[in-house]
C-alpha cells in the first residue's frame, strides 16, 4: 500500500538531497501529479531547518515566472511533516543532461544561461537571493526549456546572512567568495554561481575543482581556475571574457545585475542571428545534431566577417581571436587560413615601416649610415601565426651581409624557441667588427638558438586532451626548450571526466637526444559519501586513511580505482561502532548510508 501524506499519495522517490527527499506523488484532491519535497525525519525537530524549509515555500510561491519551478502547496505550522508540493518537471537536471553531451555549442551554453538569468531577474526583483545556483538545481522541462529550482537556502536581500558560525550554506564549486568568507550576499553572489554554470556548460567541466571541499573553497577565494578558452578553444575569446567577468573575486567587478549579464549574452548570440534564445534552445533540445551543425555554420560565417572587419580596422588581436575560433570549429578552413596569413603580412609591413623609420634616424645621426629593410618570409603555417601576438617573426641580418640583399632561406625569422633579437639600433657586440661611417653594411649579432627537445607525454588513461605550457597539442608529442621547466596539463575527455580530474605536472626537461618520455598519472575524482545516523553526532573513518569526517555531512573519499568498496566505521559516544562496506564510484553521485546506531549502555566519559 502506498504511503499517504495528508492529501498526497506518494508513488516513488525521484531525488535526494541533504535536507529533503523528493517523491513523485499524486494530489488526490485536484487529481494531478506533483513533486513532493519532504524534509528528512531527523531534521523535523530542528527549528532552524523547519524555518528555512517554510521560507523556501513562501518565497518561491510568490514568484510567478515561466523559468521558476511553481509551488502548489506546502505544509502548515501544525503538520507532523514539513513538505512542499511542486509542479512535476519531465526532464533531467542540467548537470545530468550536460554529462551526456560530448560538447555543447557556445551559443547554446549562452542561451541556457540567458534563461537562468531571466529566472534570477524575477527572484532578485522580489528581493530573493537564491545562493545555491548550480546545474543540479536547474531542470529541463518537456525537452524545450529550463526551470530554476531549490530555493532551500535563499536569503532575503534586506536581512542578514543565515550563515551560522562555523557553517557554510551552499555547494562547494559554485559558491561565491563572499559566501565562503561569511560576508554579506546580494544578487551578484548568484551571478558568480551562474558564471560557474556557464563555464560548465561551455567546457564540460567545473572551473573550481579539488581533492576536497576545503581545497575547492580555497581556489575560489584565490580566484584560481583554468582559462576556459584553453579548456575549450571553440568557445572563443568573447565568451571567455564574459565568463571571466562573472567569476571576478570582487562583486564590484562582476556584472551588477542578472539583466546586465542577460543583455551581454543576448548581444553575443545575436551575432549569429539568434534573436529568440528560448526558441533556439527549444529547437536545439529537440534536434541537437541538425541545429548544432547549423549554428556552427552560422558562427563560422559571422566570425570570418567580424575578423575581416577587425583586420581592416587594424585590430589584430580581435581578428586573430575570431579566426582562432573558426579553426577550432572548422579545422583547416582554407578561407580563414588565408586571412590569417594576410593579417600577419600586414602586421609585419607596419612593424618594418616603424623599424625603418628608427634606422633612418640612426643613419642621419651617424652621418649617413645606410639602412635597408625587407619583408620576412611568410609563416610556414598560418595556424601557428594565429597563436602568437600578431604573428610577427623578427628578421635578422647575417653579419657582413649586404644591406638590401635578400635574406637567406632560414634567416627570415627568429626561431620560436630562440632568445629575443637585439633591439634595433642597439650597439653591436664588442667582438663584432664595427661598421665604418658611410659603409653600406650593418653588423647585427644573431643570438644563439636555444636547443629544443621532443617530449612524449604518456598519460595513465587514453581519453585526455593534453596542454603543454597552457597550449593544446595534437597527439602526444611536443617540441619544448630543453633545460627549462614546463607544465603538462591533462584534461579528461567527456567519457571519463566524471571519474577523473584535470591534472597538472611541472618538471624541467633535460637536454639530450631522442624523445624525453614523460609519464603522467591522471588523478581520480573523490567519491562523495553521506552517512545518516538519524541525528546522532559521530565520526566516520574510511579504511586505509582515505577519508574521515562527521556524520550527517558529505565526506569526500579518495579512491585508488574508479570503483571500490572500502569499509567505513562510524563512532559516536555512547553507541556501538557501526561498520559496513560501501560501493563508491570516483566522481559519482553521493552515496547515502543509513547507520543504525545502537546504544552501548556504557556511560559517556566526562
Query: Which residues participate in catalysis according to the annotation?
Result: 132
> How far from chain centre, in Å, is Cα 496?
16
Looking at residue 592, the DSSP 8-state letter turns out to be: E
Contact 454, 476 (CB under 8 A): no
Looking at residue 135, the DSSP 8-state letter turns out to be: G
- Per DSSP, what are the bridge partners of residue 476? none
Q: Is 46 helix (H, G, I), strand (E, B) or coil?
A: coil
The DSSP element (H or E) to which 155 belongs, if any, is strand 155-156
- Per DSSP, what are the bridge partners of residue 599? 575
> How far from chain centre, in Å, is Cα 116?
17
Residue keyed to cell 535563499:
154
The DSSP element (H or E) to which 556 belongs, if any, is strand 554-557
Q: Which residues contact 585 (CB under 8 A, 6 or more apart)?
A: 499, 527, 562, 563
Dist. CA 544–CA 26, nearest whole Å: 46
Q: Give just the sign of the alpha carbon dihedral 274, 280, 281, 285.
A: negative
Q: Is 302 helix (H, G, I), strand (E, B) or coil?
A: helix
The DSSP element (H or E) to which 571 belongs, if any, is strand 567-571
Residue keyed to cell 551575432:
271
The DSSP element (H or E) to which 486 belongs, if any, is strand 485-492
Dist. CA 131–CA 191, nearest whole Å: 10
- The torsion defined by the Cα of 266, 90, 203 and 496, in degrees rounded to 10, comes to -170
Sheet bearing 20-27, strands edge to edge? 4-5, 8-16, 20-27, 32-39, 83-86, 71-74
Sheet bearing 471-472, strands edge to edge? 471-472, 464-468, 485-492, 503-508
Q: Is 238 helix (H, G, I), strand (E, B) or coil?
A: helix
- Of 168, 201, 170, 190, nearest to 68 by C-alpha is 190
Q: Which residues of 555-576 are buried (b: 16+ CB within 10 A; e: fewer)?
A: bbbbbeebebebebbbebeebe
Looking at residue 436, the DSSP 8-state letter turns out to be: P
Q: How many CA atoms are closer than 13 Å to the CA of 276, on its beta-carbon side?
A: 7
401: exposed, middle or buried (Cβ count in 10 Å: 0-12, 13-18, 19+): middle
Cβ count within 10 A of residue 408: 10
> How far from chain centre, in Å, is Cα 51?
34
Dist. CA 369–CA 361, nearest whole Å: 10
Count of residues making up the chain: 606
Dist. CA 97–CA 288, nearest whole Å: 12
Amino acid at each position: 500500500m502506498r504511503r499517504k501524506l495528508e492529501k498526497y499519495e506518494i508513488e516513488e522517490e525521484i531525488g535526494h538531497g541533504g535536507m529533503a527527499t523528493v517523491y513523485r506523488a499524486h494530489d488526490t484532491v485536484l487529481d494531478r501529479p506533483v513533486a513532493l519535497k519532504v524534509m528528512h525525519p531527523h531534521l523535523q525537530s530542528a527549528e532552524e531547518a523547519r524555518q528555512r524549509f517554510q521560507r523556501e515555500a513562501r518565497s518561491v510561491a510568490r514568484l510567478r515566472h515561466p523559468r521558476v519551478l511553481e509551488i502548489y502547496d506546502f505544509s502548515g505550522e501544525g503538520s507532523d511533516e514539513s513538505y512542499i508540493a511542486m509542479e512535476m518537471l519531465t526532464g533531467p537536471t542540467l548537470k545530468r543532461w550536460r554529462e551526456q553531451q560530448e560538447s555543447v555549442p557556445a551559443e547554446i551554453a549562452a542561451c541556457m544561461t540567458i534563461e537562468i538569468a531571466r529566472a534570477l531577474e524575477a527572484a532578485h526583483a522580489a528581493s530573493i537571493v537564491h545562493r545555491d545556483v548550480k546545474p543540479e538545481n536547474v531542470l529541463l522541462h518537456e525537452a524545450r526549456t529550463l526551470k530554476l529550482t531549490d530555493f532551500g537556502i535563499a536569503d532575503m536581500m534586506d536581512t542578514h546572512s543565515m550563515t551560522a558560525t562555523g557553517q557554510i550554506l551552499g555547494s562547494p564549486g559554485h559558491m561565491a567568495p563572499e559566501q565562503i568568507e561569511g560576508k554579506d550576499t546580494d544578487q551578484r553572489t548568484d551571478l558568480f554561481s551562474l558564471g560557474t554554470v556557464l563555464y560548465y556548460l561551455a567546457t564540460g567541466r567545473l572551473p573550481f575543482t579539488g581533492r576536497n571541499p576545503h581545497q575547492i573553497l580555497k581556489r575560489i577565494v584565490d580566484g584560481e581556475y583554468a582559462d576556459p578558452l584553453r579548456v575549450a578553444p571553440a568557445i572563443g575569446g568573447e565568451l571567455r571574457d564574459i565568463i571571466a567577468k562573472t567569476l571576478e573575486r570582487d562583486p564590484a567587478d562582476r556584472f551588477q545585475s542578472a539583466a546586465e549579464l542577460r543583455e551581454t549574452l543576448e548581444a553575443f548570440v545575436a551575432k549569429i542571428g539568434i534573436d529568440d534564445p528560448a526558441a533556439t534552445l527549444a529547437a536545439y533540445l529537440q534536434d541537437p545534431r541538425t541545429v548544432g551543425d547549423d549554428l556552427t555554420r552560422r558562427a563560422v560565417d559571422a566570425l570570418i566577417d567580424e575578423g575581416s572587419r577587425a583586420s581592416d580596422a587594424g585590430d589584430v588581436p580581435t581578428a586573430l581571436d575570431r579566426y582562432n575560433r573558426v579553426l577550432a570549429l572548422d579545422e583547416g578552413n582554407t578561407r580563414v587560413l588565408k586571412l590569417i596569413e594576410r593579417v600577419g603580412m600586414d602586421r609585419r609591413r607596419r612593424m618594418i615601416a616603424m623599424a625603418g623609420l628608427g634606422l633612418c634616424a640612426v643613419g642621419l645621426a651617424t652621418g649617413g649610415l645606410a639602412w635597408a629593410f625587407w619583408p620576412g618570409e611568410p609563416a610556414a603555417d598560418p595556424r601557428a601565426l594565429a597563436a602568437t601576438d600578431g604573428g610577427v617573426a623578427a628578421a635578422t641580418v647575417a653579419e657582413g651581409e649586404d644591406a638590401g640583399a635578400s635574406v637567406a632561406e632560414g634567416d627570415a625569422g627568429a626561431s620560436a624557441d630562440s632568445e629575443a633579437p637585439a633591439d634595433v639600433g642597439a650597439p653591436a657586440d664588442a667582438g663584432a667588427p664595427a661598421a665604418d661611417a658611410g659603409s653600406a653594411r650593418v653588423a647585427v649579432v644573431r643570438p644563439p638558438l636555444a636547443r629544443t627537445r621532443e617530449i612524449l607525454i604518456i598519460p595513465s588513461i587514453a581519453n585526455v586532451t593534453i596542454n603543454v605550457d597552457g597550449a593544446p597539442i595534437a597527439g602526444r608529442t611536443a617540441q619544448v626548450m630543453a633545460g627549462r621547466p614546463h607544465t603538462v596539463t591533462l584534461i579528461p575527455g567527456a567519457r571519463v571526466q566524471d571519474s577523473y580530474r584535470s591534472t597538472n605536472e611541472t618538471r624541467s626537461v633535460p637536454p639530450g637526444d631522442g624523445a624525453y618520455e614523460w609519464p603522467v598519472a591522471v588523478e581520480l575524482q573523490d567519491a562523495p559519501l553521506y552517512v545518516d545516523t538519524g541525528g546522532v553526532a559521530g565520526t566516520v573513518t574510511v579504511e586505509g586513511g582515505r577519508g574521515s569526517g562527521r556524520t550527517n555531512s558529505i565526506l569526500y573519499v579518495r579512491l585508488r580505482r574508479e570503483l571500490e568498496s572500502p569499509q567505513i566505521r562510524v563512532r559516536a559516544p555512547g553507541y556501538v561502532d557501526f561498520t559496513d562496506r560501501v560501493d563508491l564510484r570516483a566522481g559519482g553521485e553521493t552515496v547515502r548510508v543509513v547507520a543504525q546506531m545502537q546504544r552501548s549502555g556504557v556511560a559517556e566519559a566526562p
